[in-house]
Structures are given as C-alpha cells and as structure tokens.
A and B are shown apart, each in its own frame.
Chain A
Amino acid sequence: MSSTSTRAGRTGAPFSRRIAPRAGHGFVAAYVVLLIVFGVVPTVYAIYFAFTNAGNRFTGLSNFTAAAADFRFIPAVEHVALYLVFWLAALVVFVVGLALLLHRLAVRGVSRSLRFLYYIPGALAGAASVMVWLFLLDPTVSPIGFLLRALGYDTFGQLIAPGHLAVLFTCIAFWTGAGGWIVVMYGALNNISTDILEAARIDGAGPWRTARQIEIPLLRKWIVYMVILAFAGGTQLFVEPQLLSQASNGVAGRDYSLNQLSYDFAFQNNNVNGAAAISVELMLIGLIVAAVFVARSRFFDAD
C-alpha cells in the first residue's frame, strides 16, 4: 500500500476500485437516466432521422448527398474552415498569453478585477448582444467609430462586407468566450509549483523563457483540451452569424455556417432529415478530433 502512495491523488493499482461495483451503479443511476432520456434517445433519434426520409423509410446516404448538393453547402464549409483558423489561432495565442500576463501581476486585487472585467462579456450571449454589435460595428455611432473610420469604413454596410466576416465573427466569439477560458488557464497556472518558478528565476530566466520552457509545456494538456472544445464549437458555429444576420436584417451572416444551414433545413423547409444529416457530419468531425485527443492523452483512464 505504501508503495502506491508516493504520488498525491493517484494509485496505479485498481485495488481500491474493485470494491463495491454495485455502489458505483447506485451513484450513477440518476445520471444514466438523464443521459438516456435527454442525451442518448434524442441523439439516436437524430441519427435515425439522418438515414431515413419523411416517410420513415430507410434512405441510406441520400440525405447526406442532398445536403452536400445544396448551393449553400460548399460555401458554408469554406466559411467555417476559414473561421476555424482565425478562431483557434486567436483563442490559443491570446488566452494563454493573457493568462500568463495576469499570473505575473504582483497585486492580486488587480488580477482578480481584470479577470472579472474580462469575463463580463461572457454573460452577454445571443439575443442580448445583437444591439451591442449593431452599434459597435456602425462607424457613425460606435464608441470605436474613430478607429473604424480610420480604417476606411464609413458605414455599417461597408464593415460587414462578406470578406470581413470571418474576422468579425472571431472578434465576437472571442469577446464572449475568452474571459471564461482565461479564468480556467489562470487556475491551471496557479497549480504550477512555485518552487519551479523560483528555481527558474534564480537561474536567470526572464519572463519569456519561463513561459516558453516551463509554463506553457505544463499547460499543454489544457491548451489541447481548449483547442478540442473550441474546434467542436467552431465547426458548430451558429450564434455569431445568426446574431449579425439579425442585426443587419440579413445582409451579413445568413447561411454562413453549416449549423445555420442545418437549422434552415429543419425549421424553414421542415426537412429534419437533411438537418440531421448535417448534424451527424458535424458530430463526426468533432468526434474524430476528440478521439485523436483521447487516444493520445489516455483521457479515459484514471487520470
């Protein structure tokens, strides 16, 4: 027993787990019920929709081919791919960078207030921020109007040109999403032993080297985890184009992403089967990337 207790919170042997498998069932019973009712059944039903037609007859892959043949499908794939590049790059670089900077601050109060202030936009989800962005992106009334006009945009319409949308959506998504991730990364940084950092400081490492050689490697697991979730969220992009479409009365952001196309199929054409086909595709992409991560980090094992 003592040989297995050298590392905190971990034993190699499943000895202690073997006890009481039935109790394990008791603990998860309520969750399993919810999982089946609100998770498995709707998902299986959705997959069923993807392979059948409106008359409940099995149709093989025809929903998938029909969805792919829609004139909005290929542009949506391109949009989402471009958005993912911007979004993942911005998230990783800025979230990790800001967390590192906040962690270096000596005064706790400032760090805590900044984390709170960075988080506030996260509370403005969806419908709540339509008006905010409508005004923010209009150079005539925006608080950053001088900046937009300096960049050469005089009207809202010029700013929401199709070529700018990937960047705009990245900005909006980052604005709402980064605060929470910064808090999480900050917590991860707090778990790094101060001895290591002290040793590095004594060795003469400046902030850049410490970050590159100590902090980021120790954060790698969490960065990868953040990338996985951001990837799945990015492929399922919906809220940001929908909100810009509402703010601009349909000029920008309509049919921009695959998830919006799925939504249109379901609720405009009553084509739940086509919508399910796209949803299944999005789920599969997310699963493949997650599976790679899970396999490489042995996520499902004890720790």
Chain B
Amino acid sequence: MTAKVRAVSAKRSGKGRRRAGLLAAGGALALAAVTACGGGTSTGSAAPQQGFTEAPQAGGALTVWVDSTRLAAAQLYHKEHPSVKMTIVTYDGDANGSNYLQTKVDLFDRTGSGWPDVVFSTQNNEVSWAVPAAFTAPLNKGLIPQSTLAGWATGANNPCLVNGTLYCLRNDLAQTVLWYNSALMKRWGYQVPATWEQYEALGQKVAAQHPGYLVGSAGDTFTPEIFMWASKCGANQITGAKKVTVNTTSANCTRMASLLDTLIKDKTMSTSSVFSSDFDKNDAGKILMLPGPAWYGGALFQGTFKTPKGQIAVAPMPQWSGDSAPSVGNVGGGTWLLSAHSKNLKAATAFLTWVTTSNDYQAKVAPGYPAYAAAAKIWLANQASSGYYTGDITAPLQAAANQVWPGWGYGQFSQEAIWASTVTPGLNAGKAIVSMLPAWQKAIVNYASSDGYQVKQ
C-alpha cells in the first residue's frame, strides 16, 4: 500500500507541472489570437478633405445614440424623413458622471468597428477625450456651412472648439439668470437687484425682516457654475487642448465667495441642494430669489417645487457694479458629436444639422433653451405664452444667452465633481467658502494634472 502511495505522489507532482504548462500554453495561444484580432482602426481611402480622413462611405442605416430625453428628436426625424434608415439606440447620455461613451469608443477603437454615426451627450466636455481619440469629425472645415454655424448663440459652441476647429455642436444652453418670486417681491416692496452689491444687501434685509426665506442656494454641485462663473472667477480657464490656468484666489473669486459666506451666515443662502429632500420639504415654499440656469423654470419651479403659476419671474443675473462687460454662468447644456468613422457622412450631417437647428424639434419639442438662436426665439415665445411665468421672460433669457463668460471652459475633469468633494463637505461642516478657496485650487490642480493637463497657477 505504501509503495503505491509514493508512486502516486511522484506521478502527481511531475504531471501536475506539465498540466499547468498546458494550461499556460493554451492561455498564451488564446491571448495571441485575441491580440491579433484586436486593435487597429479602419483607414479611409478618401483623400483628406473636410479636415479629416473619411472612412470608406458605404451608406447603410444611420446609427444614432441618444438619451431618453432626446429619443423624441431621433424619432421625429425618422417620422419626417421615412426614407432614411435609422438605428436609434438609447443610452444614459453620459449623465450622472457616467463615462459610457468614452468607454465604448475606446472598446470600439480596439476592435475597429461599432462606432455610432451621431451621438448626443449631456456633457459639454466630450471633445477633451474625443479629439485625441480621433472619434469626432471636424464640422467647420466643410461639412457644415459657416452660415449655419453662425446661427448659434455667442460662445455657445466654445466647448466644442479645439485650436479653432469645431468638433461638436451645442444642443441647448443653460445660461444663468435671476429667478425670483414676483408676488413676494411686490408684497414686501423690494426692488429686484441689478448688482451683486444690491443682491447682498437685499439678502441681509430679508434675513432681518423675513427670516426663513431664501435668496439663493449654494449647496449644489453646480454652485460654482452659477456664482463663480458669473463673477468671472478664473478657476477653470481652459487655454488649450490639454492646458488650463487655475486661480481661485483672485479678487473676482474672493468677493463672490465672501458674498456667499455672508448670506450663508445670515441663513438666506441655503447650503442644501435644491434637489435635496430637505430643501423640498422646508424651503421650497420660501424662495424669494434664486440665481440659476434657464432650466430652473421647468425642472425646478414647475416640476419639483410645483410653485403655483403667476409667481415666478426672471430678471437678468446681477453684475458687479462698475463692470462694463456683463457676464453670466452656465449649468449644463448638451452636445451632438459626429463620428469621424462614419460610413454615412451625408446622412449623418443632415441629421445633425436638422436636430440642432430645426424648429420642429428645437423650438417645439425640446425641453431646454435651444443653442441655435432662431429656434430659441420661438422656444421662448412658447414658454412665455404658457402662462406660467409672470412678466417678460424672453428678454433676460435672450440677453443672457449671449453673455456666458468665455473664460470658464470644459476640461476632462469635472468642476462639479471637484466642488462637490472639496467644498460642499466643508460647507456642510460650517466652514466659510473663502477659507476653502486654496483647497479648491489644490484639488483642481490635482485632478487636472492626473488627467494629463499642463496646469498654470
């Protein structure tokens, strides 16, 4: 019995190694097969015109990726152009910090196929990775006529510009204005502030006379895009494809930060997000003023707070007194990208142009303020005639559309995420924003550097 045991053990160790060797060899073969199949992109045979090398044009169905809100646009196009074959795919639109588009494009680049022809993204910073990845096609080198491109609001397409070449088209704007409750203002006899100084003074007055009422909220992740951007704070000056200048301690930043701190201390500026449950429960009915983007009207006042009609009005964003160049911020938007790998450029470009400029979609169906000025006019008129708002909402919104400060760009790193993880916890703990400005700067520098940016401070 013992002899057999020894023999078996010897057999086991010797053959075990061979078996392991077989496993490894099999693995290596499979690996080689995969690497041989993977990688490599298709090269176009057409001469480089229109600024890039086209893939061989084969026609076929147009593949469009949209989020569920823009699904209506793709379906409307299909209805109006039944001869165009379309494959419509809904995805998350890169909302909520998702990197779906970038992930999938990277995978498609490895396998050499699968890219959509036209894709919508809720983010404005897609070109920061899409241009180095050669995914998106240049649009102002012949694909779309300059006369069309001139129809966008001033600076609306800035996030899409890389060294003068336009790589995407803006879908909608989110310019910031001053939303306010006209009924309350009248009842209490207040004047709508035109300058930040007046705004601060009014906030302090409200704290004394009507405690519990709010003139703004600083608890959102997009708070810097409302206040800091409008104040021309240089926290996010994108100066090149991978270059950024960051300065969060300049006068523009500091004075806005101390304005916010003053009002937070007075409790007329909330530190809760406008979408949080405690804001909804405790503060929704106590809003006197709320600086915020154009979509606050629909999404916030009508949708979440269900403020009764006839109360909400719009005024221009306050400015620092003496500032000759009015500036506002911007919270969101969305962009359409055209794939450079598209085998159906003509149909893709036609769809892209239609979806960003047509009145049928942008003016009549789109939920957000269109970036294309002509459609925006009609959109505004529709909003005004809905009867929900009081006073003239078109003039301030239209003016603000052209006043978005161009000194704040869209990098690969998310400013909202940086503010959320750096400043908001401090706000929740009762710290002053002014005291957190250096930490904010450090965080932006860190994230930008780890994303490969050259950072100037």
Residue of B nearest to A70 (CB): B450
| B108 contacts the other chain (CB 8 A) | no
Contact indicator per residue, chain A 251-283, by CB within 8 Å of chain B (1) or not (0): 110110000000000011110000000000000
**Chain A contact residues (Cβ within 8 angstroms of B): what range?**
35 or more
| B186 contacts the other chain (CB 8 A) | no
| A9 contacts the other chain (CB 8 A) | no
Chain B stretch 304-323: residues in CB contact (< 8 A) with chain A: none
Q: Are B424 and A251 in contact (CB under 8 A)?
A: yes
- The DSSP consensus for interface residues of chain B is helix
Contact indicator per residue, chain B 272-294, by CB within 8 Å of chain A (1) or not (0): 11001110011000000000000
CB distance from B91 to the nearest CB of A (A): 14
The one of A18, A40, A72 that contacts B23, using a Cβ cutoff of 8 Å: A40
Chain A stretch 36-54: residues in CB contact (< 8 A) with chain B: 36-37, 40-41, 44-45, 48
| A240 contacts the other chain (CB 8 A) | no
In the bound complex, residues from chain A placing their C-beta under 8 Å from that of B428 are 155, 157-158, 160-161, 251
**Given A71-B446, A140-B278, A13 contacting B5 (CB threshold 8 A):** yes
Residue of B nearest to A139 (CB): B278
Q: Are A14 and B23 in contact (CB under 8 A)?
A: no
In the bound complex, residues from chain B placing their C-beta under 8 Å from that of A160 are 425, 428
| A135 contacts the other chain (CB 8 A) | yes
**Chain B contact residues (Cβ within 8 angstroms of A): what range?**
35 or more
Residue of A nearest to B129 (CB): A270
**Given A157-B428, A246-B96, A249-B221, A138 contacting B1 (CB threshold 8 A):** no
In the bound complex, residues from chain A placing their C-beta under 8 Å from that of B420 are 248-251, 254
A297–B121 Cα distance when bound, in Å, is: 53
| B399 contacts the other chain (CB 8 A) | no
Q: Are A267 and B446 in contact (CB under 8 A)?
A: no
| A156 contacts the other chain (CB 8 A) | yes
Q: Are A267 and B97 in contact (CB under 8 A)?
A: no
Q: Are B34 and A45 in contact (CB under 8 A)?
A: yes
**Given A141-B281, A156-B277, A157-B428, A267 contacting B219 (CB threshold 8 A):** no
| B21 contacts the other chain (CB 8 A) | no
| B41 contacts the other chain (CB 8 A) | no
A15–B3 Cα distance when bound, in Å, is: 11
CB distance from A18 to the nearest CB of B (A): 6
| B79 contacts the other chain (CB 8 A) | no
CB distance from A11 to the nearest CB of B (A): 12
Counting from the closest, the 10 A-B pairs by CB-CB distance are: A157-B428, A250-B420, A140-B278, A141-B277, A71-B446, A40-B27, A250-B417, A267-B99, A41-B30, A251-B420
9 examples of A-B residue contacts, CB within 8 angstroms: A36-B23, A140-B282, A141-B281, A156-B278, A157-B219, A250-B417, A251-B420, A251-B421, A251-B428
Q: Residues of B at under 8 Å CB distance from A?
A: 1, 4-5, 8, 23, 26-28, 30-31, 34, 96-97, 99, 102-103, 106, 129, 133, 219-221, 271-273, 276-278, 281-282, 412, 414, 416-417, 420-421, 424-425, 427-429, 446, 450-452
